[in-house]
Amino acid sequence: MFTLKIIVLFTVIVPLHYELCWCRCADAEYEMNGQCCPMCAAGNRVYSHCTDDTSTTCAQCPEFTYIDEPSGLSKCFDCTVCDASRGLRVKKACIWWSDTVCEPREQFYCIEKNKGSCRFAAKHSECSPGQYIKQAGTPSTDTVCVDCEADTYSNGSFSSCLPHTQCEALGLTETTPGTRSSDRECGNTTTALLIIVLSVIVTLILIIIAAVRFTIVHIRKKKKRSGTGKLY
């Protein structure tokens, strides 16, 4: 019985195993019509497949096309276009054996990559008034914005928030309070008081002028009515 198993092993299983192994093409070959043909080198396409008597015939990829690794392809790939509307520009031009390498435009950062080339980029964020730029944007990262703390301010373009001006330390009076997006405004106490007084005086003059005009118009209307009554 043991002898029978050995016979079966060598007459059926072993030949089948070697047949499966030998039918697989080598790493630098591709299968075509039951034959293992040599691959074309990167930058080349298959012009004609191998036969029993001839090897694979290769041809260089046409302009604006490429193949970036050995293959049995009969058609080259179209070169990638670095689309400006996607925030991209050319970093390395396409050549027969390598696709175009794209990179983000100025003030853009890459958000999608493939084989070392950027496929899509977005514009760097702009910090809002009341925030400062903690980290400027790079080709691979967005801008990082942080809110200003109390008694400091930034218009959104500062690399750090600035402290509000201390009016009292300058011998001045605060005229406009500071916010997170603007500095405190200071003025001279006398000047500020003078402005208030002048504003009051101008307002009073305008009121007096309006009252006088109203009185004159009222008197004229009254006289006109009196004169009209005497004719009758």
pLDDT value of residue 220: 73
**Structure-block tokens of residue 94:** 């396409």
Same domain, 53 and 87: yes
Residues 160 and 185 in one domain: yes
**1 class by beta-carbon count within 10 Å (0-12 exposed, 13-18 middle, 19+ buried):** exposed
Do 113 and 136 lie in one domain? The reply is: no
Q: How confident is the model at residue 227 (pLDDT cuts 50, 70, 90)?
A: low
Q: How far apart are CA 86 and CA 113, in angstroms?
A: 13
Check residues 173 and 231 and name the one with the higher pLDDT: 173
How many domains is the chain built from? 2
Contact assessment for residue 148 and residue 156, using Cβ atoms and an 8 Å cutoff: no
Residues 104 and 157 in one domain: no
What are 42-76's pLDDT values in tens digits?
999 999 999 989 999 999 999 999 999 999 999 99
| 80, 103, 123 - which closes a domain | 123
Residues 110 and 42 occupy one common structural domain: yes
CATH number of domain containing 89: 2.10.50.10
Among 23-27, 47-51, 217-221, name the one with the lowest average pLDDT: 217-221
Is pLDDT larger for residue 223 or for residue 190?
223
Q: Where residue 230 falls among pLDDT bands split at 50, 70, 90?
A: very low
In a domain, 35, yes or no: yes
The predicted pLDDT at position 10 comes to 44
Give the residue from 79, 95, 123 where a domain finishes.
Answer: 123
Residues 53 and 116 in one domain: yes
E strands, 19-70, in order = 29-32, 35-38, 44-48, 57-60, 65-66
Whether 115 and 46 share a structural domain: yes
The pair of structure tokens assigned to 178 is 């500071």
Q: Is residue 151 one of the residues assigned to a domain?
A: yes
Question: Tokens at residue 160, please?
Answer: 């750090």
Q: Are residues 116 and 34 in the same domain?
A: yes
pLDDT digits (tens, 9 = 90+) for 148-196: 999 999 999 999 999 999 998 888 888 899 999 999 999 876 665 667 7
pLDDT tens per residue, range 131-152 = 999 999 999 999 999 999 999 9
Residue 81, amino acid: V
Mean predicted lDDT score pLDDT of the chain: 86
Identify the pLDDT of residue 190: 61
Q: Which domain holds residue 87?
A: 25-123
Look at residue 31 and tell me whether its pLDDT is greater than 70.
yes
* Residue 30 located in a structural domain: yes
Answer yes or no: do 100 and 158 share one domain: no
At 170 the pLDDT is: 86
Residue 19 lies in a domain: no
Say if 203 falls within a structural domain.
no
Q: Report percent pLDDT > 90 for the chain.
A: 63
| pTM of the complete model | 0.63
Single-letter amino acid, residue 149:
E
Q: Are 86 and 103 in contact (CB under 8 A)?
A: no
Is 232 within a domain? Answer: no
